[in-house]
Amino acid sequence: MLGGALLLALLANELGAQVAPVPRGPIARRAIDSALAVATADSAWARVKHTYYDTTFRGLDWEAVGAEVRARAARARDERELRAAITAMFDRLGESHFALVPSGAVEHGRAAPSEEDSLGTAGIELRLLRGRVVVSRVVPGSAAAGAGVRAGWWLERVGALEVAPLVRTRLASLDGAARRLAELQLTLSLAARTHGRAGERLRLAFRDGRGRRRPVRLVLRRDDAELVRFGPLPPQLVRFESRRLDDAAGCVGVVRFNAWMAPVAPRFDDAMAEYRHCRGVILDLRGNVGGVAAMVMGVGGYVLDSAVSLGTMTTRGAALRYVANPRRSDRRGRPLAPYAGELAILVDGMSASTSEIFAAAMQVLGRARVFGEPTAGQALPAMLAPLPNGDVMQHVVGDFVAPDGRRLEARGVVPNVQIQLSRAALLAGRDEVLRAALSWIGGGATATSRATASTRRATPATW
245 & 207 share domain: no
Asked if residue 389 belongs to a domain, the reply is: no
Asked if residue 461 belongs to a domain, the reply is: no
159 & 295 share domain: no
94 & 143 share domain: no
147 & 202 share domain: yes
370 & 265 share domain: yes
Q: Write out pLDDT tens, residues 374-432.
A: 999 988 888 889 999 999 998 999 999 999 999 998 899 999 999 999 999 999 999 99
Asked if residue 425 belongs to a domain, the reply is: yes
363 & 291 share domain: yes
User: Cβ atoms within 10 A of the Cβ of 286, count?
Assistant: 26
244 & 193 share domain: no
193 & 251 share domain: no
Distances in Å between the Cα of 424 and the Cα atoms of 80, 125, 210, 432 are: 41, 17, 11, 11
pLDDT mean across residues, the chain: 87
How many Å is the Cα radius of gyration of the chain? 22
83 & 211 share domain: no
Q: Which CATH number characterizes residue 162's domain? A: 2.30.42.10
The pLDDT value given to residue 28? 52
Asked if residue 447 belongs to a domain, the reply is: no
Q: Closest Cα to residue 76, out of 105, 104, 36, 46?
A: 36
Range of the domain at 71: 7-110
Q: Write out pLDDT tens, residues 135-158.
A: 999 998 999 999 999 999 999 999
Asked if residue 206 belongs to a domain, the reply is: yes
Q: Which CATH number characterizes residue 433's domain? A: 3.90.226.10
Asked if residue 391 belongs to a domain, the reply is: no
84 & 140 share domain: no
How many independent structural domains does the chain possess? Answer: 3
- Four-residue CA torsion sign, 315, 4, 437, 444: positive
- Please name every residue paired with 399 in a beta bridge, in sequence order, or none if there are none: 314
Give pLDDT < 50 ranges for the chain: 4, 6-27, 110, 116, 453-463
- Burial (CB count <10 Å: 0-12, 13-18, 19+), residue 294: middle
pTM of the full structure: 0.86
Check residue 338 and report its DSSP letter.
P
Asked if residue 26 belongs to a domain, the reply is: yes
3-state secondary structure of 49: helix
The pLDDT value given to residue 7? 46
**Which residues in 97-132 are b (16+ Cβ under 10 Å) and which e?**
bbbbbbbbbbebbeebbeeeeebbbbbbbbbbbeee
